[in-house]
Amino acid sequence: MNKMQPTNTEYLGTTRELMNRQQLTHQRRPGMTASLLAVGVLLVGLGVSSPALAQEAEGFVTGTLPAPAPAEQVEAGKRVYFTKCVWCHGVNGSGDGPGADRLWPRPRNFNAGTFKIRHTASGELPLIDVDLLQTVTHGLPGSAMPSWEGILNEQQRKDVLAFVTTELVQDRSWQDEEFEELHILELEKLSGAAVPPSAESIKRGSELVVENKCIECHGLEGRGDGNAFNLKDDWGFSIQPADWHKCWNFRGSRQDAYNVKNIFRTFSTGINGTPMPSFADNTSIEDRWHIANYVQSLCERDKDVDIAGGQVTDEIAAELLAAKPRGIDPLTDKPKVNFVIPSKFAEGELPKDEHDPRWYDERWEKEGRRIVAIGGQITHKPRNFVNRIDDIWVQSMYNETHVTMMFRWDDRTKSIQEDEVDWDPYEVNLADYGIVEQEPGGSQFDDDTTHPDSIAAKQTSYQVFNDGLAFQMPIKFQELPAPRKPRYFWGDEGFPVDIAKWTADGNLMAYEGTGWDQDLEDRDDFTEQLTLDKAEWKDGRWTVIISRPLKADYEADTYIELGKYIPINFFVWDGHNGDVGRKMGVSAFYYLVLEPPIPSEAKWYAGLAAVGLVIVEGWILTRRSNRRKEQGAS
């Protein structure tokens, strides 16, 4: 194998050296890395070690290395691997299969034996029949690795792991008793004595994530917006800190997104091959539960709790505790999607910012803000294979004259275009200006992730464009012959759409769209009627509030009526991902519905039905008692 090796294998000496190296990883802090490295090298060089380093971290027990897999099992696993896995993970298991270059996160390179989600201590090999089996069974959400349960039976899943761990993990071995040790987190036992979620625990957790400097990478509110765009994994590929508000995307969520155990495990063992260290050595088990409780409480719930930049007070902690988890769809392992976006009536002025209490009143309790799932635009060139924004949250209100929509979505980077671009904002065919899609796999620089033309280098050096958001609604939808709609992608011939597009440089523009490859048509008259009430990026999240008149010009605009299903779909751009023009995220068709007030007849009819039933009851009882009398008489 002449593939690039991760740096950690170079250190592999004695177990004690391994422990030293882990200690270094644990304590890596900006500015301290160099000096710690020097001390580490010195310790290793002199053969000196402090006894504390070799000690078991709290909550771990020493395990035994597994026996080698039988040759027949490895052979059976090979059959599985070359049918199902080779397409992404590659013939040699180097994570360079045909699909690899268009995936982010990239498929795992097995060669170094570096695996992310484990019960074993930082830097160690995973447990094959626990960790790796769970990964194959449940998949790795937030990546392209699916759950193989129901496709491969358990024996087949174990077989393929036998093949991968025997043949494809090349730099380390589970049978290497000289260099390998397993220290296993006793998760089940520790969960028995877990600190239950409480307001105090959540508040304590919020303080601990600051003390442990979690927020340096994960951001003040945990949206992964710390030093977000510059992190790399052991192979030099771009990697981003987890967004704590999307627990269903945690790689280690094991199809059980809101389970606090998964967070406790990842925090205790770290994520090998990434900058995420293990905190087992410097936090007590109790503190780890507090942190896990806090992180879990941030995952999106029915209520959008403002955590004030991580300054969690008793009230905020209590609110976080009280909010209920979102329903997770077992088909997608993501929050359930509802394609109807309700707009509720607001008295007087429409809300101008996200703190307006009317966004949170009791009318939203039953069906709150809607999640809009976003996929990459992959219909027309240039396609976007990596969409870093995978959902937006939408809420809407209206009054007699206007409708407003609040969009909130997590974006780790605030991107505002700084360089001049050659095209005009209404232009859509940007191929002439060099906006192209990612080439398919087999890049000649796959081996050298530092080469400027390698995919690893490209992942972190996009030209930065504006973040953006747009939505489209059909013009004159009342006249559409059902179920005809304008095409989801900026309309089509004869079925134009009305597009409102906001970009992070502060522009909010109205366009008319007549097709995916047709330049948008500026509509200055309607642009004036659109209002940008708010556009703010804070702690890894955009809040954009746009309002527009219900009824503008019928001939050229969507004419919004109460109680009608108005097709609407959404587009979103992440400027740091190189998104511009057609390179963007898109949604399916949703429906915006302005909910009319409750009709007064409802009460009358309900009363009528009740009275009717009373009469029927009276009739039945009379009939029955008459019959009894007859029976009694005869």
> Which of the residues 73 through 92 are near other proteins (CB under 8 A)?
75, 78-80, 82-84, 86-88, 91
CA gap 110, 115 in Å, rounded:
8
- Give the helix/strand (H/E) hosting 585: strand 585-586
Residue 102 touching other proteins (CB under 8 A): yes
Q: Round to whole Å and give the CA distance between 216 and 231.
A: 12
Question: Shortest approach of other proteins to residue 481 CB, angstroms?
Answer: 9
Q: Return all residues near 47 (Cβ < 8 A) that are at least 6 apart.
A: none
- The total of other beta-carbon atoms located within 10 Å of residue 318's CB is 16
Short-list 529, 467, 465, 526, CA closest to 502: 467
Least distance from other proteins to the Cβ atom of residue 242, Å: 17
Among 6, 376, 513, 575, binds other proteins (CB under 8 A): 376
The only residue of 13, 452, 506, 607 in contact with other proteins, by rule CB under 8 A: 607
Q: How far is the CB of 605 from other proteins (least distance, A)?
A: 6
Q: How far is the CB of 33 from other proteins (least distance, A)?
A: 35
Query: For other proteins, which is the closer residue by CB, 61 or 611?
Result: 611
* 271 vs 118: CA distance, rounded Å: 8
If one asks whether residue 32 binds other proteins (CB under 8 A), the answer comes out as no
**Nearer Cβ to other proteins (232/383):** 383
Find the shortest distance in angstroms from Cβ 235 to other proteins. Answer: 20
Distance in angstroms (rounded) separating the CA atoms of residues 610 and 613: 5
Of 36-44, 242-250, 479-487, 543-551, which part binds other proteins (CB under 8 A)? 479-487
Residue window 236-255: x/- pattern of binding to other proteins, with contact defined by CB under 8 A: -------------------x
CB 294, CB 205: distance < 8 Å: yes
Phi/psi for 298 (5° steps) reads -80, -20
Q: Which is nearer to other proteins, 165 or 443 (CB)?
A: 443
CA atoms within 13 A on the CB side of 42: 7
Instruction: Name the minimum Å distance from CB 439 to other proteins.
Output: 9
**540-579 binders of other proteins (CB under 8 A):** 563, 565
Vertex 391, ends 556 and 339: CA angle to 5°? Answer: 60
Closest approach, Cβ 376 to other proteins, in A, equals 6
Encoded amino acid at 28, one letter? R
| Of the candidate residues 98, 309, 327, 452, the single one contacting other proteins (CB under 8 A) | 98
- Pick the closer one to other proteins by CB: 13 or 440: 440
Stretch that binds other proteins, among 2-10, 426-434, 529-537, 620-628 (CB under 8 A): 620-628
Of residues 153 and 313, the one with the C-beta less far from other proteins: 153
14, 613, 626, 629: which one binds other proteins (CB under 8 A)? 613
Residue with smaller CB distance to other proteins, 122 or 156: 156
Near other proteins in 256-285, by CB under 8 A: 256
Closest-CA residue to 440 (of 103, 76, 53)? 103
Whole-angstrom Cα distance, residue 13 to residue 16?
8
Contact 200, 207 (CB under 8 A): no
Q: Does 99 bind other proteins (CB under 8 A)?
A: yes
Stretch that binds other proteins, among 128-136, 148-156, 214-222, 524-532 (CB under 8 A): 148-156
DSSP-assigned beta bridge partners for residue 551: none
Q: CA-to-CA distance for 278 and 452, rounded, in angstroms?
A: 32
**Only segment of 38-46, 282-290, 461-469, 611-619 that touches other proteins (CB under 8 A):** 611-619
Contact between 381 and other proteins by CB under 8 A: the answer reads: yes
What residues between 312 and 331 interact with other proteins by CB under 8 A?
Answer: 329-331
Residue 105 beta carbon to other proteins: minimum distance, rounded to whole angstroms:
11
Q: Could you say which residues in the range 413-452 bind other proteins, by CB under 8 A?
A: 440-441
Return the residues of window 388-417 that contact other proteins according to CB under 8 A.
390
Closer by beta carbon to other proteins, 196 or else 330: 330
Residue among 94, 92, 91, 127 nearest 108 (CA) = 94
Q: How far is the CB of 206 from other proteins (least distance, A)?
A: 30
Asked if the bond preceding 357 is cis, omega within 30° of 0, the reply is no
Question: How many residues interact with other proteins (rule CB under 8 A)?
Answer: 90
Contact 498, 473 (CB under 8 A): yes
DSSP, res 495: B
Stretch that binds other proteins, among 46-54, 262-270, 281-289, 602-610 (CB under 8 A): 602-610
Cβ distance to other proteins smaller for residue 155 or 175: 155
CA distances from residue 597 to 345, 364, 621 in whole angstroms, order as listed: 8, 15, 40
Cα–Cα distance for residue pair 296/245, rounded to 1 Å:
8
CB 180 within 8 A of CB 172: yes
* Tokens, residue 82: 């070359």
For 622, the token pair is 């009379």
Cβ proximity of 59 and 46 under 8 Å? no
The DSSP secondary structure of 146-187, one letter per residue, reads ---BTTB-HHHHHHHHHHIIIII--S--TT-TTT--EEEE-H
Tell whether residue 93 is a contact of other proteins (CB under 8 A).
no
352/623 with CB nearer other proteins: 623
48 contributes a contact to other proteins by CB under 8 A: no
Using the rule CB under 8 A, which residue among 13, 309, 327, 375 binds other proteins? 375
Q: Which of 14, 284, 379, 622 binds other proteins (CB under 8 A)?
A: 379
Q: Figure out which of the listed residues 606, 619, 626, 629 binds other proteins, where binding follows CB under 8 A.
A: 606
**Strand pairing partners for 498?**
473, 512
Task: Please say which residue, 385 or 445, places its beta carbon nearer to other proteins.
Answer: 385
Binding to other proteins by residue 470, rule CB under 8 A? no
Q: Does 156 bind other proteins (CB under 8 A)?
A: yes
- Distances 52 to 15, 24, 55, 71, 446 between C-alpha atoms, Å: 14, 14, 5, 41, 41
CA 580, CA 384: separation in Å to the nearest integer?
10
